[in-house]
A and B are shown apart, each in its own frame.
Chain A
Amino acid sequence: MRTVVLICRRLGRTLLLLALVAVGTILLMRFAPGYFSDSREMDAKYAQREQTELHQEEAKSGTFRQLAASTLGGWLHGDLGSSRQYGVSVMELVRPRLRVTAVLLVRGVVFGWLLALCTAFPLSVWRKARAVAGVPFTVLLAIPTGAMATLCLLADMGGPVLVLSLLLAARDFKFLQRLFDSAWTAPHLLQARAQGVRFDRLAAAHLLPNVTPQILGLATLSIVTALSAIVPIEVIFDVPGLGQLAWSAALNRDLPVLLTITLLMAAAVSCAGMIAPRDRMVQTA
């Protein structure tokens, strides 16, 4: 019963946050400069009177209530509204891009984690090599995503998956290293080592079960980091994904598209937060 109440409370909080994110996005867009600019205003064939009518029409449909109602109408219609920039339904725009971004995210997170785990775990045992092996990760941590992506593009070496993997590996490597370090020095592991338990058994039966919850928390944080990084990566590599679409929608004041992507992002982050306890996420951050 307590678990059900807890789940309901978390779900309620998530829904409230999503609603607030939607309201915030609509408000920001409503007051963004250029939101009401119409390409017809630039056209000389429209006389002053028509232009005034355009402005009046915009003023009528530009209240927060109107915007929220039209957005909600689009959502209830099932096609998530119509894109101002492309003139097609948002669903039609988002669906193929969602797949592209999901594939990029999954590959990036999996390869990044493999790289971080395969380096951090051996280094937690073989500590002499740590000073040298940790240097590339420290340097990677100091390179902004945009710069890393541009350099990879220029060198014609690797693609968006490589950049995302390197970014996540650099972020998670140190956490994992510290985690393994503290796990190896736990009293029960020291006792097991003193009793001569084999290394593979020690790792499988004593170390990994101990660190799995923390690794899970860190993995969810990686998803948030990856979601954050996909915008510059997709823009620089010209990947037709959600990050690129969001960037284009934000610059072109395309509210229906941007709202959909923002809500998708917020839902993904909230789901990640549900898997990992919030406190652990904040501590890890």
Chain B
Amino acid sequence: MKRRVAVVMLALMVVAAGVIVMLPGTSYKAQDREAIMSGATAHHWVGTDDVGRDRGVRVAAAVLLGLGGAAAAAAITTAIAAAVGAAAAFSAPGVASVLMLASDLFLSLPWLFLLMMVRSFLPLTTSPLHSAVVTFSILAALGWPACARAVYRGTLNLRSSEWMIQGRASGLRNTQLMRRHVLPHLLPLLIPQFLICVPAFIVAEANLGTLGLGIAEPLPSWGAMLLELDNSASLALSHWVYLPVVVLVMVLLLLESLTAEV
């Protein structure tokens, strides 16, 4: 029940964000020079930022970008984890050791530190779209190891089950066994991993943004909007500056309630 409510609320948020972004005459980068840091007005319902951009449109675009990017990155990372974990379980012990060593290599550094390090080594002065692609690609590329270990364990358990022995005895090849039997059985493991990754990636993007390593302006992202809070002068002018934090927390709470229910 709780899960259904969370799904409906998330869907409503996404639809509302989509409608706000698609409204004619609205743009996340359009500046209203007459209304810099304005409060709520008839023209700008939740005010504007320090360069006169409509905060409502930017938050809506950040919801879409954050959720879309994090979901895509989570899907990729889950697919990598499934591939690595299943390949390790079905390959020779030496190959499995190397693959697990590779996952340990990523796990040997704290997650945010690793992200910060890798992101800072990549070009920082790029186009906004490129920076968004780079940020979410890094999340996808670095997020798989813990999940891969879980998949490896799960696949090893499945491998020794009776129906798998029967499948092998029937002459099925490893690829067939993996595609037809192992992957469907791993779905109860992979779906929660995917759902865990989505909020984790949103939080990671926001943290990278607060370090100045996230998505470049003028593309709206959680991290960039949290950076707005650094400007104490703007906080005194409008309380709507806190809107991105409130919406971000709401999105994360809904995503976490989804994860808890699975």
- Bound form: Cα–Cα A251–B124 in Å: 9
Residue of A nearest to B104 (CB): A17
Of the stretches A113-121, A189-197, A202-210, A225-233, the one at the interface is A225-233
Residues 247-285 of A, flagged 1 when their CB comes within 8 A of B and 0 if not, give: 100110000001000100110011000000001001001
| Cβ-defined contact, A20 with B105, below 8 A | yes
Of the stretches B57-65, B88-96, B172-180, B228-236, the one at the interface is B228-236
Q: Which residues of B contact A243 (CB under 8 A)?
A: 113
Residues of A4-35 at the interface with B, using a CB-CB cut-off of 8 Å, are 13, 16-18, 20-21, 24-25, 28-29, 31-33
Residue B22 CB within 8 A of the other chain: no
Q: Which residues of B contact A247 (CB under 8 A)?
A: 116, 120, 211
| Cβ-defined contact, A154 with B146, below 8 A | no
Residue B187 CB within 8 A of the other chain: no
Residues 246-262 of B, flagged 1 when their CB comes within 8 A of A and 0 if not, give: 00110011001000000
Say which residue of B121, B206, B222, B232 sits within 8 Å of A250 (CB atoms): B121
| Cβ-defined contact, A147 with B245, below 8 A | yes
| Cβ-defined contact, B112 with A29, below 8 A | no
Residues of A149-172 at the interface with B, using a CB-CB cut-off of 8 Å, are 149-151, 154
- Bound form: Cα–Cα A141–B206 in Å: 14
Residue B118 CB within 8 A of the other chain: yes
Among B113, B123, B210, B245, the one with the most A-chain Cβ atoms within 10 Å of its Cβ is B113
Q: Binding site of B, secondary structure by majority: helix, strand, loop or mixed?
A: helix
Q: Binding site of A, secondary structure by majority: helix, strand, loop or mixed?
A: helix
Residue A74 CB within 8 A of the other chain: no
Residue B109 CB within 8 A of the other chain: yes
| Cβ-defined contact, A228 with B253, below 8 A | no
Say which residue of B101, B104, B146, B211 sits within 8 Å of A235 (CB atoms): B211
- Bound form: Cα–Cα A23–B188 in Å: 37
| Cβ-defined contact, A265 with B110, below 8 A | yes
Residue B111 CB within 8 A of the other chain: yes
| Cβ-defined contact, A258 with B117, below 8 A | yes
Among A29, A144, A146, the one with the most B-chain Cβ atoms within 10 Å of its Cβ is A144
Residue A246 CB within 8 A of the other chain: yes
Q: Which residues of A contact B210 (CB under 8 A)?
A: 144, 146-147, 149-150, 232, 235-236
- Bound form: Cα–Cα A265–B106 in Å: 12
Among A18, A142, A262, the one with the most B-chain Cβ atoms within 10 Å of its Cβ is A142
Say which residue of A20, A32, A144, A266 sits within 8 Å of B226 (CB atoms): A144
| Cβ-defined contact, B226 with A150, below 8 A | yes
A-B Cβ contacts below 8 A, count: 125
Residue of B nearest to A33 (CB): B123
- Bound form: Cα–Cα A247–B211 in Å: 8
Say which residue of B109, B113, B121, B199 sits within 8 Å of A32 (CB atoms): B121
**Size category of the binding interface on chain B:** 35 or more
Residues of B110-150 at the interface with A, using a CB-CB cut-off of 8 Å, are 110-113, 116-118, 120-124, 146, 149-150
Residue A110 CB within 8 A of the other chain: no
| Cβ-defined contact, A151 with B229, below 8 A | yes
Q: Which residues of A contact B104 (CB under 8 A)?
A: 13, 17
Given A138-B256, A228-B113, A231-B112, verify A250-B146 contact (CB < 8 Å): no
- Bound form: Cα–Cα A227–B107 in Å: 13
Given A232-B112, A269-B110, verify A142-B249 contact (CB < 8 Å): yes
Residue A139 CB within 8 A of the other chain: yes
Residue A145 CB within 8 A of the other chain: yes
Chain B proximity of A98: nearest CB distance (Å): 15
Residue A125 CB within 8 A of the other chain: no
| Cβ-defined contact, B122 with A144, below 8 A | no
Residues 78-107 of A, flagged 1 when their CB comes within 8 A of B and 0 if not, give: 000000000000000000000000000000
| Cβ-defined contact, B207 with A144, below 8 A | yes
26 of the cross-chain contacts (CB-CB < 8 Å) are: A16-B101, A17-B104, A18-B108, A24-B105, A25-B117, A31-B121, A138-B253, A138-B256, A139-B249, A141-B256, A143-B245, A144-B210, A146-B210, A154-B232, A154-B235, A231-B211, A232-B207, A235-B210, A246-B113, A247-B211, A250-B121, A265-B110, A265-B113, A270-B108, A282-B149, A285-B146
Q: Can you list the 5 inter-chain pairs with the closest CB atoms, starting with the nearest?
A: A146-B210, A228-B110, A142-B252, A250-B120, A32-B121
B interface residues (Cβ-Cβ under 8 A, vs A): 101, 104-105, 107-113, 116-118, 120-124, 146, 149-150, 153, 199, 203, 206-207, 209-211, 222-223, 226, 229-230, 232, 235, 245, 248-249, 252-253, 256
A interface residues (Cβ-Cβ under 8 A, vs B): 13, 16-18, 20-21, 24-25, 28-29, 31-33, 138-139, 141-147, 149-151, 154, 224-225, 227-229, 231-232, 235-236, 243, 246-247, 250-251, 258, 262, 265-266, 269-270, 279, 282, 285
Q: A20-B101, A146-B211, A154-B229 are in contact. List 6 more A-B contacts (CB 8 A).
A: A143-B252, A145-B203, A145-B207, A150-B229, A250-B117, A251-B120
